Amino acid sequence: MRDVSFTLPVGQTLAVVGPSGCGKTTLLSLIAGLLTPATGTLRVAGRPVEPRRPGTALIMQDYGLLPWKTVRQNAALGLDIRGLPRDRAEQALAEVGLLDLADRWPHQLSGGQRQRVAIARSLALNPDLLLMDEPFSALDALTREEMQDLLLSIWQRHRTSMVLVTHSIAEAVYLAQHVIVLSPLPGRIVGSFVNESVGDRRGTGFHALVNAVRDALSRGVNGHG
Query: Contact, 30 vs 51, CB < 8 A?
Result: no
203 part of the interface to another protein, by CB under 8 A: no
Distance CA 199, CA 178 (A): 13
Starting at the edge strand found earlier in the chain, the sheet holding 13-17 runs 56-59, 129-133, 161-166, 13-17, 178-182, 189-194
84 part of the interface to another protein, by CB under 8 A: no
4 versus 34: smaller Cβ distance to another protein: 34
Q: Which of 107, 141, 204, 223 binds another protein (CB under 8 A)?
A: 107
110 part of the interface to another protein, by CB under 8 A: no
Smallest distance from another protein to CB 208, Å: 36
Smallest distance from another protein to CB 113, Å: 15
Smallest distance from another protein to CB 127, Å: 10
125 part of the interface to another protein, by CB under 8 A: yes
Half-sphere exposure at residue 31, Cβ-oriented, CA atoms within 13 angstroms: 30
103 part of the interface to another protein, by CB under 8 A: no
Distance CA 79, CA 73 (A): 10
Smallest distance from another protein to CB 105, Å: 5
Q: Which of 36, 37, 40, 82 binds another protein (CB under 8 A)?
A: 82
18 versus 78: smaller Cβ distance to another protein: 78
Q: How many positions of this chain bind another protein (CB under 8 A)?
A: 24
Binding mask 39-78 for another protein (x = CB under 8 A): -------------x-x--xx-x-x-xxxxxx-------xx
34 part of the interface to another protein, by CB under 8 A: yes
Cα 19 to Cα 92, 120, 186, 220: the distances in Å are: 33, 28, 11, 9
Q: What is the DSSP letter of 179?
A: E
Q: Residues interacting with another protein, by CB under 8 A?
A: 32, 34, 52, 54, 57-58, 60, 62, 64-69, 77-78, 80-82, 105, 107-108, 121, 125
